[in-house]
Amino acid sequence: MDNRTSLPLRRPTGRAGRAGAVAILATTLLLLWTAPAAAHDPIFIEQDQTTPDVGPYMPDGAISWALYGSVLESGDTRGFEFDLRDGEELYISLLIPNLEPELSISDDELPTVELEAPDGTTTSIVPEVREVFDEPFSNTSYVTLAELREPAQEGRYRGVVNGSAPSRFTVAIGEREEFFTETERSGDRPTSFPGIAPPLQAWYATPPGAEAPTDLAEGDAEMQLDMIEEAMEDGEGSAPEGAFGETDSDEGAGLGWVAPVVALLAAAVAGGWLFSRRRSDEPTADQAA
C-alpha cells in the first residue's frame, strides 16, 4: 500500500509568476552572453604552396584555424598539414566568401579538399550545401560548402585544396579558440588582432587573380576586438599578452562585464522579490487557526 501523501500544488500569483519569468529570462540572457563564441586564428596560403609538404603546418589541429587562399584556374592546388592526437576530434570545413564571383560558380567548379589521414586513407570534401555564415569578429560573410567531423587518428593529416575555376576559399580546422600559436611555413604571421585585419580584408576584397588593394578605406580593416576578448575570457581559449593592443583591450575589458552584472542583478532582484511575495502569500498562524 502506498502511504505517500499527495500535496496540492500552489499556483503562483500573477506577480510571482511574472517575477519568476523575469528571473529565468535574466539567467538565460546571462548564459547566452557568457557562452563562448567561435573565432579562428588566420593563416594565408601563398600561391607557391601547392602541396602539403610546402604548405602551412599547424602542430595542433584542435585549435581553431582558418586557412585563406585563392585558386586561379582548373588544376591549381594549395596544400597544408596539421597534427591531431588520439582522443581528439577531427573537424574541417570548406567555405567561400559570400561574394562574387564565387557565388556564381557552379557546384562542380567550386574548390574541393582531399584530406589524407595518418593511416593513408583519403577523404574528399566536396560542396554539399550552401549555408551563409556571418563572421562577427571581422565583419565578413561566408558560405559553408561542406563539413567533416569524426574521431581523430593520431598523427599527421595532409590536405590539398583543388581548384576548378578562379575562386577564393577558406578551410577551417579545429574548434578550440587559441590565438598566435607557433606554426611552420606560414609566412610572417600577425602577432596581434589589429595586425590580422589588413591582410584578411585585403584577401576578402580581392577577387581571385586581381591585384590586392594597396590601402583600404577607413573602417574596412577593423576587428571587433572587444567581442574577441570576451570570447577569450569566457571560453577555454587564450591569447598572448598584448594581442588586443593597449587601447582596444582596455576598452573591451572596461565594458565586457556590464551585461553579465546587469543580468545577475536582475536575476537576484527578481528572485528576492519572488521569495518575499511567496512568503507574503503564506497564511499566518492566526489565519491558519
- For residue 63, give the CATH number of its domain: 2.60.120.380
Could you say which DSSP state residue 104 is in?
Answer: G
Q: What percent of the chain lies above the pLDDT cut of 90?
A: 46
Parent domain of 180: 41-190
Q: For residues 282-289, give the mean pLDDT.
A: 50
Q: Give tens-digit pLDDT for 185-198.
A: 988 777 777 777 88
Amino acid at position 203, single letter: W
Q: What SS3 class is residue 147?
A: strand
pLDDT for 49 beyond 50: yes
What is the pLDDT, as a whole number, of residue 246?
A: 47
Question: Which range is least confidently modeled, 145-154, 218-227, 229-238?
Answer: 218-227
What is the pLDDT, as a whole number, of residue 61?
A: 93
Q: Give tens-digit pLDDT for 259-274.
A: 343 344 444 444 444 4
What is the pLDDT, as a whole number, of residue 259?
A: 39
In which order are the strands placed within the sheet that holds 89-97? 41-44, 65-71, 167-173, 89-97, 140-151, 131-135
The β-bridge relationship of strands 122-125 and 112-116 is antiparallel
pLDDT for 184 beyond 70: yes
Q: Tell whether 113 is covered by a domain.
A: yes
Identify the H or E element spanning 140: strand 140-151
pTM: 0.65
Q: Tell whether 118 is covered by a domain.
A: yes
What is the pLDDT, as a whole number, of residue 187?
A: 84
pLDDT for 28 beyond 70: no
Q: Tell whether 104 is covered by a domain.
A: yes
Q: Tell whether 7 is covered by a domain.
A: no
Q: Tell whether 81 is covered by a domain.
A: yes
pLDDT for 136 beyond 90: no
Q: Give tens-digit pLDDT for 30-43.
A: 333 333 345 678 99
Q: Tell whether 277 is covered by a domain.
A: no
What is the pLDDT, as a whole number, of residue 233?
A: 56
Q: Tell whether 196 is covered by a domain.
A: no
Those residues with Cβ within 8 angstroms of residue 145's Cβ, 6 or more apart along the chain or in another chain: 93, 94, 95, 96, 110, 111, 126, 127, 128, 129, 130
Number of domains the chain contains = 1
Q: Tell whether 70 is covered by a domain.
A: yes
